[in-house]
Structures are given as C-alpha cells and as structure tokens.
C-alpha cells in the first residue's frame, strides 16, 4: 500500500475507533446514571437525557466523519494536485496506480464504491489520456461503467460516458466515439434540466461533437466556437487543449499561419503534456524550435474544519453535562 494511501486509511480508521469509543462511553455513563439516580426507573429527566445523548452521538458521528474524511481527502488531493495543478502526469500515475491496484483487491472497505474511489480512478484515467495512453484510461472507465453501484447515478453515467468519448477521440477511434456520443445525447435527454450541472453537460456535448468532427476532418463552425471558448475562464490544461484543437482546425483548413500560431501556444502553455509534446514535434518538423514551457505553481484550496469540530463539541455537551452535574 502506498504511504500516502496508508495515511489516509489510518486517519479514517482512527476516526471510526474514536467514534466507537465515544459511543461506548456515552452508553456506559447513561446506564451508570440511570442505575444510581433512578434505579432503572424511567423518569422525564432520564428520557430527556437519553434523547440528548442520542442526538449528541449522531452529531459527533457526523463531525468526526467529516473531520477524518476531510483530512484524508486533503492527503488524496495533494496527490491529485500533481495532476491537476502541477500537471505532472507521470508522477501522478506513479502515485495513484499502486493505490488503485490495492483498492481493486477489495482491501479498503471504506473506499469501496465511494466518491473518493470514482474520483481517484477517473483522475488516473485522465492522466493516462493526457500521457497519451488512452487504452489504459478506457480499461479503467469501462470497469467503472460495468459496476452497477456506480452507474445507477445518472450524473456518474454521464461523466463516465464523457470520459470514454474523450479517450476514444484521443485514440482516434471515431466510430466508437460517435457511438458513445449518441449514448451521451440520450442520457442528457433523460437528465433533469433544473440540475445545476445540466448546462455544463450540454456545453461538453457541444465540445465533444466538435472534437469528433475535427477527428473526421470536419471543421464547420469549430474555429469560431473555440475562439469564443478562449474568451471564457478556463483551466490551464483545458486551455492547452483548445489551442491544440484550433491548431488542428486551421491545419485542416489550410491556414498554416494560424496553425503555427496555435501550435506555439499549445507548446508554450504546456499544461496538457501529450498535446504539448505533439505540438513541439510538429513545429520541429517545420523547422521551428520552441522553449520548454515553464509551468506555474498553483496553491490548492484550503479546507475549513470549523463545522466538523463544532459538531463534535456540541455532540459532547450531554456527556459533559452529565459528568459535571450528576456523577
């Protein structure tokens, strides 16, 4: 088991142990209080305290779970940042692959069928695509797609279908990509328009349609679409992809000047390593050399633990009150 993964698992297990101990102590103290104060007779005070104790245990459980999962998520996010922020796909693959293999053996129960598992596996699949190895990405995504625990959620089916489409486009398998694109359209038709991610899913459908068309050397409306996309806030990785797509569009249209312009931008931005490397190779074949990109460092978002700690403190109030006033 990788060290970072072991730390995350240990923190989650520690949280479970703390909660179990807290619950056991609360129950023991309640029976102790009930016996010595009321000789196992029900009274209004006993019932009120019992209700408060149960509420306290529930709040403590929510708090400790959020706290430990939050800390574990930070550890996992640091690993993901090698892909998302530092754009170091090879390092991320080295860190994530052993964890995925370990999870596939079913040894980490709290990871099983969880959002963390989906997130980590999809991140690894994305890394494979960025690294120019779509077959491995397809293998992971197909495995997730075959698991009924995952695909029972419409948004997960959409995400997996989308990721598979992109992987097949990178693989240049236009037939399979087109088949999946039709499936994506059908899923989107069944999607609730009032969901907050509906508009994003529609935009991604447009993006994937244009990408598939470009793969088939059809560029109608694509240049205008992606030029407009560049005017919107984009991640550095996606911006590199857009530059690359525009370079391909202008190559197909025979506009070498703009093709070279966007090949340069693709190479100089460099956050999507596979396409940036391809751009450098094409430029080199044209006798144009470009410097290696200098990737900016991004600071990850900080996570607040105030709410989980407050929930745990409130959950302890009945126990503390009993300990101070009655025992």
**What is the Cα–Cα distance from 316 to 26, expressed in whole angstroms?**
9
**pLDDT: which is higher, 238 or 210:** 210
- CB neighbour list of residue 176: distance below 8 Å, 6 or more residues apart: 168
User: Could you write out the DSSP letters of every residue in 127-139?
Assistant: HHHHTT-HHHHHH
Which pLDDT score, from 0 to 100, does residue 323 have? 74
Share of the chain above pLDDT 90, in %: 24
User: Could you write out the DSSP letters of every residue in 230-291?
Assistant: TTS---HHHHHHHHHHHHHHHHHHT-HHHHHHHHHHHHHH--SHHHHHHHHHHHHHTT---P
Which pLDDT score, from 0 to 100, does residue 209 have? 93
178-208, pLDDT tens digit by residue? 999 999 998 888 777 667 778 888 888 999 9
Which pLDDT score, from 0 to 100, does residue 13 have? 85
Decide if pLDDT at 26 tops 70: yes
Decide if pLDDT at 21 tops 50: yes
In this structure, are residues 245 and 218 in contact, taking their beta carbons and an 8 Å threshold? Answer: no
Q: Which pLDDT band holds residue 107 (cuts at 50, 70, 90)? A: very low
267-278, pLDDT tens digit by residue? 887 666 677 778
278-323, pLDDT tens digit by residue? 888 888 888 887 776 666 655 656 777 888 899 899 989 888 887 7
Share of the chain above pLDDT 70, in %: 84
Q: Which pLDDT band holds residue 224 (cuts at 50, 70, 90)? A: very high
Residue 153 DSSP one-character state: S
Q: 147 in helix, strand or coil?
A: coil
Alpha-carbon separation of residue 112 from 109, 147, 168, 201, 227 (angstroms) = 5, 12, 27, 27, 42
């Amino acid at each position: 088991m990788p060290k970072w993964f072991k730390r995350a698992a240990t923190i989650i297990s520690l949280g479970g142990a703390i909660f179990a101990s807290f619950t056991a102590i609360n129950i023991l103290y309640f029976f102790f209080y009930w016996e010595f104060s009321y000789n196992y007779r029900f009274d209004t005070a006993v019932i009120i305290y019992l209700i408060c104790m149960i509420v306290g245990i529930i709040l403590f459980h929510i708090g400790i779970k959020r706290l430990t999962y939050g800390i574990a998520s930070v550890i996992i996010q640091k690993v993901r940042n090698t892909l998302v922020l530092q754009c170091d796909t090879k390092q991320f693959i080295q860190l994530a692959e052993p964890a995925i293999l370990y999870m596939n053996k079913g040894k980490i129960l709290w990871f099983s069928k969880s959002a963390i598992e989906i997130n980590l596996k999809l991140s690894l699949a994305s890394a494979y695509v960025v690294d120019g190895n779509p077959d491995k990405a397809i293998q992971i995504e197909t495995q997730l797609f075959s698991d009924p625990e995952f695909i029972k959620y419409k948004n997960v089916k959409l995400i997996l279908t989308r990721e598979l489409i992109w992987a097949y486009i990178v693989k240049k398998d236009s037939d399979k990509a087109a088949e999946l694109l039709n499936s994506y359209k059908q899923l989107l038709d069944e999607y609730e328009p009032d969901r907050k991610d509906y508009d994003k899913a529609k935009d991604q459908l447009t993006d994937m349609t244009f990408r598939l068309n470009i793969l088939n050397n059809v560029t109608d409306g694509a240049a205008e679409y992606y030029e407009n996309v560049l005017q919107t806030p984009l991640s550095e990785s996606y911006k590199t992809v857009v530059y690359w797509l525009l370079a391909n569009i202008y190559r197909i249209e025979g506009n070498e000047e703009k093709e070279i312009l966007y090949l340069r931008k693709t190479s100089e931005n460099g956050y999507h390593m596979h396409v940036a490397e391809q751009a450098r190779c094409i430029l080199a074949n044209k006798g144009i050399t470009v410097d290696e990109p200098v990737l900016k460092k991004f600071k990850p978002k900080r996570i607040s633990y105030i709410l989980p700690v407050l929930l745990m403190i409130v959950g302890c109030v009945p126990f503390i009150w009993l300990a101070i006033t009655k025992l």
